[in-house]
Chain A
Amino acid sequence: MENDNNKKASYRGYVFAILSVALLGLSAWVIWNDEFGLRPWKHYQKEYKSLKHDKLEKEYQQALRDFQTSGDAKKLAALQTQLKQAQENFKKKEVHDRYLQVSARLDDLKAKIAENQKAMQTVRGQYLETEYYFTKNQKPADKARMDALQKQIDSIDKEGKAMQAKMEPLQQEQLKLMGDIPAIQTQIEALQKPLSEKKDRIANNESAPIEIRQRMISDANKADRCESCHPGMEDSKDVSSKQPYSKHPLSFVYLGNHDPAKFGCTFCHRGQGRATTTIEKAHGNVEYWDEPLLKGGMTQTSCLNCHGDIKDLRGAESIIQSTELIRKYGCYSCHKIPGYEGMGDVGPELTRVGTKVNYSWAVNWLMDPKKYSSMARMPKFFFTQDQAEAVADYLFSMSGTTRHDVDYSSETPDEKLVEQGKVLWSQARCNLCHVTSGRGGNHIKMYAPELSKVGSKVNKTWLFNWIKNPRQYSESERMPQFTFTDQEINSLVAYIVSNFTDDDAEVNYTTPQPISAASIKKGKDLIQQYGCYGCHKIEGMEQVQVAPSLRAQGVTFLKSDEMKEKIGTELTSIGSKPVELLDFGKMKKTISNDRLSYLKQKLRDPRGFRLGLRMPNFRLSEKEINELAGVLYGFTDSNVPTRFLVPSKTEIDKMAKVAPYQFTGDFAKVIETVKCTNCHTIKGIGQDYAPNLTFAGSKLQEKWIRGFLANPDVIRPLLQQMPNLGLKLATVKSKITMPKFNLNKQTVQDTNKSDVDVVVNYFQQELVSPDIPKNIPVISDMSMEQQIAAGKALYDQKGCMVCHQIGASGGAVGPNLSNVGNRLNPGYIFVNLENPRRFKSDVVEPTYGFTERERILLTNYLMTLKLNNSDANTK
């Protein structure tokens, strides 16, 4: 028994030893893991340091070589000999002795001055104390003491000043004795400065500590340690283009406007700012981290967090393009989205649609809009034939019509009329907004309907009335009213109906058929269920149009208060909606369970998650899906500190109680008919397809305006509009010009002025800038000819012709200046030359920093550039 125990004991000793060694090894592992395993940023920082060192060293060597080759080295050598010479001189016995003597006297004086100052301090202290008591107690004794002290102060001060005065000649003598030494020394320093600076930088890099670098943004509750691994993020030098060492791309836009010290990183990029142990953790690509890192253009979704208005925001290009999709598809019609309130209807008004389109067309359209036109924006609701008919029945009965179709395919069109219509069609530049057979539609933000098959959709009477005045059919219609004569409209109608036809169009109801009440009721339910009223106006006519026979059968139409609810989910904070609250339904195993994948899948197949979902399918392209999902991802309720918020202009105006600009008088009527703001921006209202007219009155000459309105022509090269609009090369060749609106043909109602007069008047009275002078300053010491010649010389010298065209020569980036003397006011040119970005922020023209005189010369030269009118028109 005893023996047995001993044996076991020795065996246990062995186990002890092994375990102890294991524990020791473990301790080493723990230390290593803590020091390096969990701190990968140390490696990155070291690597960055060595990369930066290489770069700085290279620069230093280069500077050194430059120094030697440029002759600076020789200069330095010469200076050093001079210095030596000067020092020799200084060391001569009589000079040196005298210097020491003077220095000793100076030191003595300095010591005395210091004593004097100390005495002064003491007395002044006493004085201030006494003054305090005197102010408080008003005792005459204090006052007397104050006076005595003041006397002392004066005498001490006098002494001190006398000593100061003694110092000056001594110091001067000292300098004189030193000769050229100080001057040469400063010269040497200046010469060596570039080199020594570079050397300092190397030393600074060398001594930079390796440590966690954290940006603490307390009010946003962020502590971002991103720069621990990305040390070059804010560096002015591009040390390496490789991650994680590269600097922030376009940092002058992003970091320049968002100081990392105030904004941090994760505010825009998301990710897990506090994590430092692995790349996956830091980038938030781990389970349970809701906000993975945003990269590239996707990051711009964060602009939406703070910027109320991203319209002209630099660096937000891709998100601007993406938000346009919300407008295009009218997401806000069914979903509440901040910033998109009161945007107006996306779809056309349907209150009288029965008088407009064929019944068969309407049914087919309801079943699948893309079948009629691949450009159709209306989504597919997956209606069955019955359902589509029910909805059409509801709409047609609300318009007071029955199921009916018209068929023009058997008619033979009047060739002459059609030919005339074709000419008008191109003159009015209908293709600017409308696409026909894949052509046109350059004004991509207008979303005008595609007309390739419209002849088989609408009836002639409606089309005639529509062209005559679109707002008679629908008040909020954006199509301009062209002032055509009835004859012209007839020719246009003939052209449209005969040319834009659909060979596959179904025409089932050439003999009208009555509509059953049951079908109408079914249609009403469908309309309410799917919220058609979100995008289309279908109210206001209900009282008028219920036919007595239908009313007897219990048919009623939806009232406006029954159609107020937005039927979709609110999207205000969809980008931060907890993943748990997103219903993945049967897609749970198919897609990854994160917010972005959910949003994309919802856009791809809105009803695919489970039964009973109502959202229609927009059949977006994968690119559009990515863009839209990116925008939605930016709608967050993350706690944005108020100091970050950049309210939109409308919000600011609202806060300041500034009413939005309103056009007044006759001009408002012109705008209402011609819809200038479809393309132009005027006082912040309208689109940016055509030039901004806010200061048109100051900018343009009256004669030119009149000529242009009568016969619009291209001013700006098309190239400029390309990147903004994404035109394809094939379409660029077709000229984009303003449509001819046939102004001047008629007078505005109620007044006797012609509408061109109204426009010109309004331009000159309202659309002027106080910054633009009527006349430019005059140079009196040069004759006009001399000034013009000098201006031309300046124009050539500064290389303006690289971008601008005059006559047949010059570039095509800037506006053509051949006729600028007829077009622009001198005051505008004068002011614009000072700062081209003053009136339009995205102008590419550089700011040259012209002097006033140079600007006058240039303006005078440019004002001589005139084509006579016939030339201008043929160009």
Chain B
Amino acid sequence: MNPFIEIITKPDNIAIVIMIILVSFFMAWAFLQAFQNDKLMALGQGVDGERDQDVDTYKPLVRIELIIALVVMVGLTVWSILVDAPLEEIANPTITPNPAKAPWYFLGLQELLVYFDPWLAGVVLPTLIIVGLIAIPYIDINPKGNGYYTFSERKYAILTFSFGFFILWLLLIVIGVFFRGPGWLWYWPWQEWDTQRVVFEPTRDLSTMIGIDSRSIGGFIIGAVVVLGYLVGGMIAPYKYFKKKFPEFLEQMGMIRYSITMFLFITMMSIPIKMILRLVFLVKYIWITPWFNV
């Protein structure tokens, strides 16, 4: 069978395929509505939902929810009758399955292990994701977009969310499910998974690129400068920019909100940066400390 068809029809992966379809559909739909509303608002016309302060819960919502609940129940029942739980061979403590994959919802995090120190990828980043999600209501001071779709009024929030959720979370899951095979090597969908495959891809640390041992004090200092420079610079530079262009926005936000938002944002952005460094420049670590590596 074609490896691609084989992999997307695997019982384990049906859920991911459904997820891809559903998420794409709703994302497209939401953006479409947002753009339409933006157009209307640009013409000075009102938008459905913008003015509505109170709406009946029962008729428009609960009924639809009930129907959807029924549809989902029917779907899940049929699915569970037709497709058996995907068991593999009897567990053998002496043999590690290859590839050893996490449950699908954690595959994004597992993918991060390619680029980050396990302590960062497995502990720090997930914690920051949760903290960040909790913090959203407190740092989002934009009152627009309640009850209706809009893009132009919430550009920053929507773009950040789209990047963080669609790209960093879902896309990495899809990569982990469909593109990572034995040895956690990259496989295109038309490639056969091969446990014997050998790929030679030497990596190096940032400071070794300019000829300094990354484990020496010099390397340590260079790494520290780069990492701390990114963190501090990444917070100060936008501050200067906002101060010059949108001082009132900065005023509204306040120092604490600004620094939390910015810290979370640049941490998020460090992920694609590190991925590019790793994939394009074969950089393994930027900064090596005795306790953790960045």
Contact = CB atoms under 8 A, between A and B. Distances in A.
A binds B: yes
Interface in A1-32: 5, 9, 12, 15-16, 19-20, 22-23, 26, 29-30
B95 A19 contact: no
A661 interface: no
A580 B100 CA distance: 13
B41 to A, nearest CB: 22
A16 B77 CA distance: 17
A713 interface: no
Interface string B240-278: 000000000000000000000000000000000000000
B154 interface: no
A638 to B, nearest CB: 12
A12 B74 contact: no
B67 A580 contact: no
Interface string B42-79: 00000000000000000110011011001101100110
Interface stretch (B84-92, B126-134, B226-234): B84-92
A583 B198 CA distance: 13
Contacts, number: 47
Contacts of B64: 12
B67 A19 contact: yes
B194 interface: yes
Contacts of A5: 59-60
A19 B74 contact: yes
Interface string A28-42: 011001000000000
A23 B76 CA distance: 11
Contacts of A581: 95
Interface string B173-185: 0000000000000
A20 B67 CA distance: 10
A289 interface: yes
Interface in A250-305: 288-290
Nearest to B60: A5
Contacts of A853: none
A588 B191 CA distance: 14
Contacts of A289: 89
B203 to A, nearest CB: 26
Interface residues of A, number: 24
Interface residues of B, number: 25
A463 B88 CA distance: 63
B48 to A, nearest CB: 12
B89 A15 contact: no
A9 B59 contact: yes
A578 interface: yes
Given A19-B70, A19-B71, A19-B74, A33 B81 contact: yes
B55 to A, nearest CB: 11
B195 interface: yes
B184 to A, nearest CB: 15
Contact of A20 (B70, B77, B90): B70
B190 to A, nearest CB: 14
A584 B196 CA distance: 9
A140 interface: no
Given A9-B59, A288-B89, A29 B81 contact: yes
B20 to A, nearest CB: 25
Nearest to A609: B196
A15 B67 contact: yes
A26 B74 contact: yes
A588 B197 CA distance: 12
A585 interface: yes
Interface string A469-484: 0000000000000000
B194 A588 contact: yes
Contacts of B70: 16, 19-20, 23
A580 B98 contact: yes
A814 to B, nearest CB: 53
A288 B97 CA distance: 12
Given A9-B59, A288-B87, A578-B92, A30 B195 contact: no
Nearest to B98: A580
Classify the interface of chain A: helix, strand, loop or mixed. Answer: helix
B195 A580 contact: yes
Given A15-B67, A16-B67, A585-B196, A288 B74 contact: no
B59 to A, nearest CB: 6
Contact of A290 (B71, B89, B192): B89
A795 B171 CA distance: 92
Interface in B82-113: 87-90, 92, 95, 97-98
A20 B63 CA distance: 14
Contacts of A15: 67
A288 B88 CA distance: 5
Contacts of B77: 23, 26, 30
Contacts of B92: 578
Contacts of A16: 66-67, 70
Given A26-B77, A26-B78, A12 B63 contact: yes
Contacts of B98: 580
Contacts of B71: 19
Contacts of B81: 29-30, 33
A588 B193 CA distance: 11
Contacts of B63: 9, 12
Nearest to B182: A580
Interface in A93-110: none
Contacts of B88: 288
B4 to A, nearest CB: 16
Interface in A577-615: 578, 580-581, 583-585, 588-589
Interface in A610-645: none
A475 B63 CA distance: 96
B124 to A, nearest CB: 34
A16 B62 CA distance: 13
Contacts of A288: 87-89
Closest 4 CB pairs of A and B: A19-B70, A288-B89, A288-B88, A26-B77
Interface of B: 59-60, 63-64, 66-67, 70-71, 73-74, 77-78, 81, 87-90, 92, 95, 97-98, 192, 194-196
Interface of A: 5, 9, 12, 15-16, 19-20, 22-23, 26, 29-30, 33, 288-290, 578, 580-581, 583-585, 588-589
Given A5-B60, A23-B74, A585-B196, 16 more contacts: A5-B59, A16-B66, A16-B67, A16-B70, A19-B67, A23-B70, A23-B73, A26-B77, A30-B77, A30-B81, A288-B89, A289-B89, A290-B89, A580-B95, A580-B97, A588-B194
16 contacts: A9-B59, A9-B63, A16-B66, A19-B67, A19-B74, A23-B70, A23-B74, A26-B77, A26-B78, A290-B89, A578-B95, A580-B97, A580-B98, A584-B196, A588-B192, A588-B194
